[in-house]
Amino acid sequence: MAAGKTTRARKRLTCSLALVGAWAVGFAGLAPSAAAADMRAEQWYLDAMHVDDIWKKSTGKGIKVAVVDSGINASTASLKGQVLEGVDVTKTDGKTDDYDGHGTTMAELIAGTGRDGGIQGLAPGAKVLPVRIGVKDSAYDKNAWDIEDAIRAAADTDARIISMSIGTEFKTDRMVKAAQYARSKGKLLFAATGNNGDKDNKRSYPAALPEVVGVTATTSEGVVAEFSQHGSYVDLAAPGKDIPGWCDAKFTQYCTGQQGTSHATAIASASAALIWSAHPDWTANQVLRVMFESAGKGEDWKGKVSSHAGHGVVRPNAHLTRGLGKPGDPGVSPLADENTAAAGGGSSASPAASASPGTSAPGSSQSPQDAPAPGSTVAGSSENAAKADDGMPLGLVLGGAAAVVVVAGGAFVLARRRRTP
């Protein structure tokens, strides 16, 4: 049965767009270059985002982020004391250990402390809650409704933010209803748009659901990466290229040079945690509206929303230290022109028809530092129309990409293929 289509009432730019200031100025000297065991030195975007200024205002304290992924290894140096009791929806052993390494990387990008040279999270005061799912061809791929069950499970926790560095080409009625349920519970949902923007650029779910914030990846030069999938479902952009992460589930080494909208999604989720921590009484709608209004845009930005970068590049510093962005009506969703419950209620979009689960289911004014850089461009600027939805069995893939250099315990080249949307 073919899955139904859901359309958001938004205007999209159909041209290449320059991104803003801090994302295009001064990046030349931020390439990874430090000692092998120091991951903080590999995280070029932290300096670009002015984290030292951000952390004087907010560290994400008091905010919990549900990480829907391959699980989380709570014993890594950077995550000790940062991981809460989670949920296993794979229906295997009931544990939330990470069988891949991907979920732990995402968790560290969000809330890692950076202890012992580990990955430094953008919101180190936040806590992460694992919601473990299976992926295609993994031993944990037992549940045909992993994404749907994971969204509902995350919605039933006290996590305010649901971070999903996953994606599939297919949606189901059950997925649509799960996202609506999560929004009705006041959750703020982020998901990876996918890494095939320079290939087939198929629409990715749950990112393309109207209740979910679709996140695309940018480079250290401040442009949208060519691999980032684009279309009407892109809402925000965040750093997603040349990011460190765990090489595999052995957790003995980090790899540098990873890329993907997965990493961007984790960083966008951490940005939301920083803002929400500073304004704990706000709703999900208000946090997201401030993220949209304070996002970095370029001097050639001719409209509200870009099909490559959405509302722009996340800049929590712009709000936290300079007050850019207004929360607005707590009951109005910035994702569409509609009224929602004050808690951040779900969309009124009609549900999609069910797809067969199958066996492959598991997926204002700017300061000088923010001045736009002349001549900046968006990589991969062709506007490919999103492919029609297809009611095929779900095939979930994690949103990371290749890692090229292993660090910690000696550096050497590693060619590792990661499943990418």
Active site positions, annotated: 69, 102, 262
SS3 189: strand
The Cα–Cα gap between 379 and 228 comes to 9
The residue type found at 240 is G
Can you list the positions of beta strands (E) in 48-124?
Answer: 64-69, 87-88
- CB-CB contact of 315 with 298 (8 Å): no
Residues 6+ apart with CB under 8 A from 398: 69, 70, 100, 102, 135, 165, 166, 262, 363, 418, 419, 420
Q: How large is the greatest C-alpha to C-alpha distance in the chain, in angstroms?
A: 55
* Terminal Cα-to-Cα distance of the chain (whole angstroms): 22
Can you list the positions of beta strands (E) in 43-126?
Answer: 64-69, 87-88
Scanning 170-260, the segments in alpha helix (DSSP H) are 173-184
The Cα–Cα gap between 304 and 293 comes to 10
Residue 412's φ and ψ, nearest 5 degrees, are -160, 165
- CB-CB contact of 297 with 19 (8 Å): yes
Distances (CA, A) of 101 to 47, 106, 119, 250: 25, 9, 13, 8
> Token digits for 407?
């660090």
> Token digits for 297?
């845009």
